[in-house]
Amino acid sequence: MRRFVTVVFLQTIFGLAAGIAPDYWSFVLIRLVVGITTSGVFLVPYVLAMEMVRMDYCFSSRIC
């Protein structure tokens, strides 16, 4: 859960910073950080949800 909060915080800060980027290359680097943190935003809640599902209902996912 700590990683999820950290990633959301980073994504918020760098997402707002992209709006005030002074030049193209700083905008690209800031958006790169946002793109890297996007995987954490989707992966962590998925794993947390799979931990709450009983093994009887795991037929729809391959990791259970």
At residue 44, the pLDDT reads: 79
**Residues 54, 55, 58, 62, CA torsion sign:** positive
Number of domains present in the structure of the chain: 1
Q: Where are the alpha helices (DSSP H) in the chain?
A: 2-19, 24-52
Task: At 61, give phi and psi (nearest 5°).
Answer: -120, 150
At residue 9, the pLDDT reads: 92
CB 28 within 8 A of CB 37: no
Q: What is the pLDDT along the chain (64 residues), one digit of tens a residue?
A: 788 888 889 999 999 999 999 999 999 999 999 998 888 788 878 878 777 776 666 665 555 5
Rounded to whole angstroms, the maximal C-alpha distance in the chain is: 53
Q: Which residues span the domain enclosing 36?
A: 2-60
